[in-house]
Amino acid sequence: MPAEQPGKLIVITGPSGVGKGTIVSLLLQRYPQLRVSVSATTRQPRPGEIEGVDYYFLSKKDFETAILNQELLEWAEYAGNYYGTPKAQVVKQIEDGNYIILEIELAGARAIANIFPEARRIFILPPSIEELEQRIRIRGKNSEESIAQRLEIAKQEIAASDEFDFQIVNDDLESAIAQLETAIFSLIDTS
């Protein structure tokens, strides 16, 4: 049975390497009432990632079947892999009155805006392109070609940040989290 008051959808995006995952992870530790939607991807799991917790890891064929069957709210191809948001779990969580966070790429955030125009949309920015490059390099997981590709994509994504309700610069983790808290919890009716 649906909740008396439907939940809310919070969309968080920003370029690869900006710290979205770190910020969302810390926010979830502080506010267990928030829930994060688990995305599906065709990329290989990173060490320590758990199926159904970090992502649903699908084969390319299974992902394409989900696209054809309209089982995804949004999907995009990024850096050679598919990423998407399974529709059924998000809709059910909102109907149950939960606050759901989608941590997704720009193309997906734009698609969600068309489906859920009432969603709170937040863009996480790096302090600078140079700092973003350093963060990507520190990961040590990308070739020079991949780093160049990610930075070019990041510049295009940053140019779209004004499409979002809030823009938060992740130059200081605690400050970024505090701004995100304000952006999210200003949604909640406390009366």
At 191, the pLDDT band (50, 70, 90 cuts) reads: very low
Q: What is the pLDDT of residue 102?
A: 93
CATH of domain 8-185: 3.40.50.300
Domain edges within the chain: 8-185
- CB count, 10 Å around CB of 132? 24
Q: What is the DSSP letter of 123?
A: E
Q: Are strands 120-125 and 8-13 parallel, antiparallel or unpaired?
A: parallel
At 187, the pLDDT band (50, 70, 90 cuts) reads: low
List CB contacts of 110: < 8 A, sequence separation 6 or more.
160, 163
Q: Distances in Å between the alpha carbon of 28 and those of 33, 93, 177?
A: 8, 16, 11
User: Would you give the end-to-end CA distance of the chain in angstroms?
Assistant: 24
How far is Cα 121 from Cα 163, in angstroms, rounded to an integer? 9
At 126, the pLDDT band (50, 70, 90 cuts) reads: very high
How far is Cα 85 from Cα 11, in angstroms, rounded to an integer? 11
In the block, tokens 């506010």 appear at 31
Residue-wise pLDDT for 131-177, tens only, equals: 999 988 887 777 889 889 989 999 999 999 999 999 999 999 999 99
Residue-wise pLDDT for 81-103, tens only, equals: 998 999 998 999 999 989 999 99
Question: Tokens at residue 26, please?
Answer: 């810390």
